[in-house]
């Protein structure tokens, strides 16, 4: 080998660059079983409270039974608990808006830890029930509005209909979930995005006579907990992949629809001819 070849500097080789992992895969690395055994449950409870909502609900909750219990407890206390719901309804004489407050189970039963069968409920305070009443079949439920502590809100666009009378109660649900859907409705609404809200009105204690029904007043509203989580995600404008699937009620839906959800949309810029 010549002296010239020995004196030439060698070309420095670049070290191999590690593959970039998606942000979600980095977050999920802490959810593996080997990591769960290194910390006590009370520490993991604090860790899970720091996760984004989509990671907590879609990944951490389904990891094991204890994490499912912790995740649902976080949802009940941090999402349902501080959230109030307004209901707008009207009679022939006036428009009414009343505020309902959440009912959180104090000692949850085992059924409360099943995410797709749990029901969130908001009640109207007793002292407000007599403030606004209406005669039977002379009122209509219009809107349900979720008011989130962050200052954002969600409001339905789809219309309600009286779907059931049970004893002294009237139950209102989205009309599209209880009646045949026309072609025009299908083009504007995607039923998978209509949460199964139930707005219940109850007959007052005082009746005019034994043969007639008393006036109706708003009593409470309910919605499946998993669908409520999805509505919170929409209100917070979280861009989850396959968001329509997270509540377990509409697994076959793949696209984001032009739905009955009042969320801001981006306007496409006009194209100019070249």
pLDDT for the residue numbered 251? 43
pTM: 0.72
Residue 54: its pLDDT value, please? 80
What pLDDT is attached to residue 31? 55
Contact 99, 84 (CB under 8 A): yes
The domain limits of the chain are: 26-80, 84-245
pLDDT of amino acid 265: 39
Compute CA 149 distance to the chain's CA centroid, rounded to the nearest angstrom. 14
Q: How far apart are CA 93 and CA 271, in angstroms?
A: 48
Q: What is the DSSP string of 177-222?
A: GTSPPPHHHHHH--GGGS---EEEEEE-S--S-TTS---EEEEEEE
Neighbours of 107 (CB within 10 A): 5
Strand order in the sheet with 95-102: 153-155, 139-147, 84-91, 95-102, 119-123, 216-224, 198-203, 169-174, 160-166
Compute the radius of gyration of the chain from its Cα atoms: 26
Residue whose C-alpha is closest to residue 64's, from 75, 53, 48, 51: 48
Cβ-in-10-Å burial (0-12, 13-18, 19+) of 197 comes to buried
Pick the closest to residue 224 from 149, 115, 147, 146 (CA basis).
115
Instruction: Judge residue 63's burial from the number of C-beta atoms within 10 Å of its C-beta, 0-12 exposed, 13-18 middle, 19 or more buried.
Output: middle
Q: Whole-angstrom Cα distance, residue 80 to residue 85?
A: 10
**pLDDT for residue 57:** 85
**Cα separations (Å) of 17 from 1, 13, 20, 29?**
34, 12, 9, 20
Angle between helices 41-48 and 65-74 (to 10 degrees): 50
Give the closest residue to 129 by CA, choosing from 94, 96, 80.
Answer: 96
- DSSP letters, 142-172, are EEEEEE-TTS-EEEB-SPEEEEEEETTEEEE
pLDDT in tens, the chain (274 residues): 555 555 555 555 555 555 555 544 444 455 555 555 566 778 888 888 888 888 888 888 888 888 888 888 889 989 999 999 999 999 989 999 999 999 987 765 555 567 778 899 999 999 999 899 999 889 999 999 999 988 888 888 888 999 989 889 999 999 887 766 554 455 455 566 678 899 999 998 765 444 456 789 999 999 999 889 888 888 887 766 666 566 666 544 443 333 333 433 334 444 444 3
Question: Taking the mean position of all CA atoms in its chain, how far away is CA 116?
Answer: 12
3-class secondary structure, 19? coil
């Amino acid at each position: 080998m010549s002296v010239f070849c020995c004196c030439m500097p060698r070309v420095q080789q670049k070290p191999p660059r590690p593959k970039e992992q998606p942000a979600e895969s980095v977050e999920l690395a802490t959810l593996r079983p080997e990591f769960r055994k290194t910390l006590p449950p009370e520490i993991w409870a604090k860790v899970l409270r720091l996760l984004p909502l989509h990671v907590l609900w879609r990944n951490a909750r389904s990891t094991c039974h204890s994490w499912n219990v912790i995740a649902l407890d976080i949802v009940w206390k941090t999402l349902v608990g501080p959230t109030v719901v307004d209901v707008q309804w009207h009679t022939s004489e006036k428009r009414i808006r009343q505020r309902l407050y959440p009912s959180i189970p104090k000692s949850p039963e085992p059924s409360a830890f099943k995410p797709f069968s749990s029901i969130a409920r908001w009640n109207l305070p007793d002292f407000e029930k007599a403030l606004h009443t209406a005669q039977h079949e002379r009122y209509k439920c219009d809107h349900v509005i979720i008011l989130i502590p962050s200052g954002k809100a969600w409001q339905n666009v789809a219309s309600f209909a009286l779907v059931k009378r049970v004893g002294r109660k009237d139950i209102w649900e989205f009309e599209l979930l209880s009646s045949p859907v026309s072609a025009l409705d299908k083009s504007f609404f995607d039923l998978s995005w209509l949460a199964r809200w139930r707005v219940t009105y109850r007959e007052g204690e005082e009746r005019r006579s034994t043969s007639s029904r008393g006036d109706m007043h708003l009593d409470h509203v309910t919605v499946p907990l998993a669908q409520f989580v999805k509505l919170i995600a929409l209100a917070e404008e979280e861009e989850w992949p396959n968001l329509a699937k997270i509540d377990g009620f509409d697994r076959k839906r793949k696209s984001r629809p032009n739905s009955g959800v009042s969320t801001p949309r981006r306007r496409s810029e006009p194209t100019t001819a070249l």
